[in-house]
Amino acid sequence: MSLRTTPFHSRTAALSEGQAWRRWAGYVVASSYELSHDREYHAIRNSAALFDVSPLYKYLVTGRDAARLLDHVVTRNVGKAAIGQVLYTPWCDHDGKQIDDGTISVLGEQRYRMTSADPTLRWLHLNAGGLDVALEDVSERTAALSLQGPSAREIVQLAAQRDLSKLKYFRLTEAAIRGIPITISRTGYTGDLGYELWVDAEQALELWDALIDVGTPYGITPAGMLALDVARIEAGLLLIEVDYFSSRHALIESQKSSPLELGLGWTVAADKERYNGKAALDAERLRGPSWQFTGLTVDWNSLERLYADVGLPPRLPSQAWRTSVPVYEQGGRRQVGYATSGGWSPLLKRYMALAHLETSSAAPGTSVRMEITVEHRRKQATARVTPLPFFNPERKRA
Amino acid sequence: MTAAYLARAGKKVLVLERRPRVGGAAVTEEIFPGFKFSMFSYVVSLLRPEIIRDLDLARHGLHILPLESTITPMENGDYLAAWGDHDETRRELYRHSPRDAEAYDEYGRLMHFMAQAVKPILSMVPPDPTSLAPSDLAGLLRLGKHFRGLGAERLHALVKLMTMSSADFLDEWFETDVLKATKSASGIIGTFLGPRSPGTAYVLLHHYMGELDGVFRAWGFAKGGTGAVSESIAAAARSFGAEIRCDAAVAKVHVNGRATGVVLENGDEIAARVVVSSLDPRRTFLELLDPTQLPSDFVADIKRFKFRGSSGKVNLALDSLPSFTCMPGIGRQHRGAFSISPSVDYIERAYDDAKYGAFSRRPYMDIVFPSMIDPGMAPPGKHVMSVFVQYAPYHLNGGWSDAKREAFGDAVVNTLEEFAPGFKSKILHRQVLTPADIERITGLSEGNIFAGELALHQLFFLRPAPGWAKFATPVRNYYQCGSGTHPGGGIMGASGRLAALRILKDGL
């Protein structure tokens, strides 16, 4: 295969019923294992779904100035983070436009792991001038699994033979499963109770087998990207190259977004003296961002009517979509934004979308109109601005 | 459901429940330590998606999981499988009959149209065809237009569906007996009719109706069992300010020109501007009221309303899953249903037993393993098994007794043992529920799971009685809701919602 396979491939390939694969950062990962992603989706909310997330880029940042470097690059305050903490953070160019988003794990004193969706090593080097810091790309060496869902804790506890009730949301701990050293972080991309397990690629398969063994009576279900895509929309989590463009890939200015425009204002530290994009972000915060990233709920009756007009029952996307769809003001003439991801939530029985809206049209409850193609014709369905996330179970943080 | 909608509209609502928990026949109980059972009703079919959205039921804990396949073991050791995937199902059917494999798609398409034709009726207050009231006339006109719009071919099919037996209707489409048997089984659930009884074809439609609602799955399983559906509705009602009092059985409804409140069995009296009964029509009118408070022809209609409970339930705690001869081993087949309906004759014979007052010696059964779908239903590695059984007539010769209940339970497990040898040795605990038990525990008259038979002569503007299908009753401020009213049973919520809307519309 000319694309790379992950350290779990021999297991995941054996499970693939329909040979449905997707590319991710130069790797192939399962779109779904079963012929439909339905059960894999429900496992996220019902029991525990097991994702192979190895294609993430991973960097080890160590040394006396490690925190200084990271603080210079990302918008959150890394210096203030405690050992064992994980930060979700975006990072920006000097104009305050978002380059990427990922996590920073504080593994120990002067020891950090950064994950990203795009290669970031060069950017880190560019920013490390004069600093006492070592950068190592551990992407291939480190395999990662994400176990997400209400039974995730029971399974990981049983596998690691330890109590994890004290491991809080966005914290990590070192542990071992059947003698395999791993890092467990209480993180994920589903908005549910869940953990990510980081392991040396050499021992990846043993870890997979151990989890499947222990997890089977608890309903552990290997799941692919199609299921994940629905869950992450329910959770209101954005995806690079889908919901926003990296400012480094943008060809024109209007393709760029700032974290403030992406609903990530909470990740932009107010108390940091210097970081890439600070001046621009400070100014933008002062004048207020012109765009908001928010949820839309398509009004069912409105959708039903559009289809009834042509004699059909409402059709719903069977998978989450990721295309740009125009959103208009209530009157239906002036475009006020665009949705970038959407789909049917089987859990909430709601047609939801993630959208960029002009600030003036983005207040929760505002009625707008979203374009829907019905029988090859462009129509508009009423949609309501809904605060994100759509689904936020207590167990996520409890 | 009515309470949740009324509370949502700002009304002060009190729910009175006889049992220690709400839900009636939609309850989850831990009958055997560590094993949870959807004691009676066990699948969710037509719960309206607008209700899930209106009441934000997901936030209150509702999660409906797909039930993806049906396996019918045959007596010759083969099987018929319907999988979630269309290609897979067609290939399976092709094995039995290439002709049927092709007809299956056409049949599905027709049923889809039929369901689309019938669906609006479910969400509408049934107009009275004998009334000249403007709202009835408008409703009838809408309905008439709707049916005319179907076109001749579909209208004919609809009339056939309304009048034929499911076996006859399916004969027009398919030649594979086991396919016809399994499909027709869905037409007899909860009725005292057999697959060859006229009128059963209509119920075939119900399987297709769920799909239209964007649920994508006609049948589903509620995480935590069907009790979780009830609990989520109760939680929603409470969030809107409704009060729910359990262990509070209502003895009578006070009537003084209009309904003025209720008196509980413990003697407590509660005054209310409006009283709504979600009990079945017999209890709503003949028990909670004094029949002299009602017009005599109405009382006669209610007395004629047929219940005739015909089904039982066997709930089993299992040490491990049974392996079926037709598809040995443990696998994805256990995540769907097993239907013990090997042939049309088999089901009709099961009905023959019941016609003459006996339970079926070899009954029709619909089996699911809820713990395979929601692992939380049983301790890790163990399982619960839900067996819906038909026929078990309420009016059993000589009446039901403990000995007969166990004999009925034996008939069930012995029949299953034929299809899954070794199955009996895996049973840790067995609960057998006859229609008499269903009546005793839930209060459903004659143990009818739909609070009155779902037969055409008791549906739409005839449910529960001609002229009184619009949730009002002959007693002012006394309303009815629940499965005994339009559009009937199943975990649907539709009647409760419509009743609440009616009450609000009446300005009460």
Q: Please state, in angstroms and rounded to a whole number, the distance separating the CA atoms of residues B184 and B471.
A: 31
Q: Does residue A318 sit at the B interface (CB-CB below 8 Å)?
A: yes
Residue in A closest to B85 by C-alpha: A35
Per-position DSSP letters for A179-240, written without gaps between them: TEEEEEES--SSSSSEEEEEEEGGGHHHHHHHHHHHHGGGTEEE--HHHHHHHHHHTT---B
Q: Please state, in angstroms and rounded to a whole number, the distance separating the CA atoms of residues A22 and B183.
A: 38
Domain ranges of chain B: 2-29+36-66+221-305+454-505, 98-212, 311-391+397-433
| B63, B214, B376: residue with CB nearest A314 | B214
Residues in chain A, overall count: 398
Q: Does residue A130 sit at the B interface (CB-CB below 8 Å)?
A: no
Residue in B closest to A215 by C-alpha: B380
- Residue B27, phi then psi, degrees to nearest 5: -130, 150
Q: Please state, in angstroms and rounded to a whole number, the distance separating the CA atoms of residues B470 and B128.
A: 9
Alpha helices in B20-133 (DSSP H): 49-54, 86-96, 98-122
DSSP state letter for B284: I
Q: Please state, in angstroms and rounded to a whole number, the distance separating the CA atoms of residues B217 and A193.
A: 26
Domain ranges of chain A: 4-56+140-223, 58-137, 253-257+290-386
Q: Per the structure block, which two tokens stand in for A5? A: 């396979």
CATH assignment, A58-137: 3.30.70.1400
Q: Determine how β-strand B275-277 pairs with β-strand B478-480.
A: parallel
Q: Which of A348, A395, A396 to substitute to test the interface with B, most B CBs within 10 Å?
A: A348
Q: Does residue A37 sit at the B interface (CB-CB below 8 Å)?
A: no
- A300 contacts B58? CB cut-off 8 A: no
Could you check whether the bond before residue B391 is cis, i.e. omega within 30 degrees of 0?
yes
Architecture category of domain B2-29+36-66+221-305+454-505 in CATH: 3-Layer(bba) Sandwich (3.50)
pLDDT of residue B216: 46
- B375 contacts A348? CB cut-off 8 A: no
Contacts of A151 in chain B (CB under 8 A): 375-376
Map residue B443 onto helix, strand or coil: coil
Give Cβ neighbours of residue B30 (< 8 Å, ≥ 6 apart). Answer: B36, B37
pLDDT of residue B214: 47
Q: Which CATH number fits domain A253-257+290-386: 2.40.50.100, 2.40.30.110, 3.40.1260.10, 3.10.129.10?
A: 2.40.30.110
B294, B471, B498 from B504: Cα distances, Å: 24, 12, 10
CA angle, B15 then B18 then B24, to 5°: 85
Q: Does residue A349 sit at the B interface (CB-CB below 8 Å)?
A: yes
Q: Please state, in angstroms and rounded to a whole number, the distance separating the CA atoms of residues A236 and A294.
A: 8
Residue whose structure tokens are 């039974």: A151
pLDDT of residue B210: 59
- B49 contacts A348? CB cut-off 8 A: no
Q: If we measure between CA atoms, which residue out of A47, A356, A3 comes closest to residue A223? A: A47
Architecture category of domain A4-56+140-223 in CATH: 2-Layer Sandwich (3.30)
Instruction: State the average pLDDT over residues A3-30.
Output: 96
Q: Does residue A387 sit at the B interface (CB-CB below 8 Å)?
A: no
Q: Does residue B214 sit at the A interface (CB-CB below 8 Å)?
A: yes
- Listed by number, the residues of chain B in 385-444 with a beta carbon closer than 8 Å to a beta carbon of chain A are none
Map residue A273 onto helix, strand or coil: coil
Q: Please state, in angstroms and rounded to a whole number, the distance separating the CA atoms of residues B377 and B386.
A: 11
- Residue A341, phi then psi, degrees to nearest 5: -145, 155
Dihedral Cα B345, B351, B353, B356, nearest 10 deg: -130
- Nearest CA to CA, how far is B243 from chain A (Å)? 24
pLDDT in tens, A185-228: 999 999 999 999 999 999 999 999 999 999 999 999 999 999 99
Dihedral Cα B5, B11, B16, B20, nearest 10 deg: 60
- Nearest CA to CA, how far is A217 from chain B (Å)? 5
Residue whose structure tokens are 């950062």: A25
The one-letter amino acid at A251: L
Burial class (CB in 10 A: 0-12, 13-18, 19+), A98: buried
Same fold, A58-137 and A253-257+290-386: no
Q: If we measure between CA atoms, which residue out of A80, A78, A128 comes closest to residue A103? A: A78
Q: Does residue A308 sit at the B interface (CB-CB below 8 Å)?
A: no
Map residue B502 onto helix, strand or coil: helix
| Interface size between A and B, measured as CB pairs under 8 A | 63
CB-CB contact of A149 with A49 (8 Å): yes
Contacts of B215 in chain A (CB under 8 A): 346, 349
- A349 contacts B215? CB cut-off 8 A: yes
- A39 contacts B68? CB cut-off 8 A: yes
Q: If we measure between CA atoms, which residue out of A261, A289, A215 comes closest to residue A49? A: A215
Q: Does residue A47 sit at the B interface (CB-CB below 8 Å)?
A: yes
- A217 contacts B381? CB cut-off 8 A: yes
Q: Which of B65, B109, B321 to substitute to test the interface with A, most A CBs within 10 Å?
A: B65
Q: Which of B51, B223, B371 to substitute to test the interface with A, most A CBs within 10 Å?
A: B223
- A347 contacts B374? CB cut-off 8 A: no
Residue in B closest to A345 by C-alpha: B215
- The enclosing H or E element of B178 equals helix B177-188
Q: Which residues of A289-302 are buried (b: 16+ CB within 10 A; e: fewer)?
A: bebbbbbbbbbbeb
pLDDT of residue B127: 75
For chain A, how big is the Rg over CA atoms in Å?
A: 21
CB-CB contact of B258 with B477 (8 Å): yes
What is the ipTM metric for this complex? 0.90
Q: Does residue A316 sit at the B interface (CB-CB below 8 Å)?
A: yes
State yes or no: pLDDT of A256 exceeds 70: yes
Q: Please state, in angstroms and rounded to a whole number, the distance separating the CA atoms of residues B92 and B179.
A: 11
Q: Does residue A293 sit at the B interface (CB-CB below 8 Å)?
A: no
Q: Per the structure block, which two tokens stand in for B465? A: 């009685």
- Nearest CA to CA, how far is B37 from chain A (Å)? 17
Residue in B closest to A36 by C-alpha: B85
Contacts of A349 in chain B (CB under 8 A): 49, 52-53, 58, 214-215
Map residue B142 onto helix, strand or coil: helix
Q: If we measure between CA atoms, which residue out of B216, B168, B179, B161 comes closest to residue B104? A: B179
Q: Does residue A38 sit at the B interface (CB-CB below 8 Å)?
A: yes
| B214, B215, B375: residue with CB nearest A218 | B375
Kindly give the confidence (pLDDT) of every residue in chain B, 508 residues in length, as a single tens digit, with 9 standing for 90 and above: 999 999 999 999 999 999 999 999 999 999 999 999 999 999 887 787 788 889 999 889 999 998 889 999 999 999 999 998 899 999 999 999 999 999 999 998 888 888 877 777 766 777 777 777 777 777 777 777 777 777 788 888 888 888 899 999 999 999 999 999 999 998 888 889 999 998 888 877 766 765 555 444 446 889 999 999 999 999 999 999 999 999 999 999 999 999 999 999 999 999 999 999 999 999 999 999 999 999 999 999 999 999 999 999 999 999 999 999 999 999 999 999 999 999 999 999 999 999 999 999 999 999 999 999 999 999 999 999 999 999 999 999 999 999 999 999 999 999 999 999 999 999 999 999 999 999 999 999 999 998 988 877 887 788 898 888 889 999 999 999 998 998 877 788 888 999 999 999 998 8
- A348 contacts B53? CB cut-off 8 A: yes
| B66, B87, B381: residue with CB nearest A39 | B66
Residue whose structure tokens are 């209502």: B250
Q: What share of chain A is helix, strand, coil (3-state, %, to 5)?
A: 25, 35, 40
* Tally of CB atoms within 10 A around B329: 9
Q: In what order do the strands lie in the sheet with A27-32?
A: A4-5, A27-32, A20-24
State yes or no: pLDDT of A176 exceeds 50: yes
Residue in A closest to B86 by C-alpha: A35
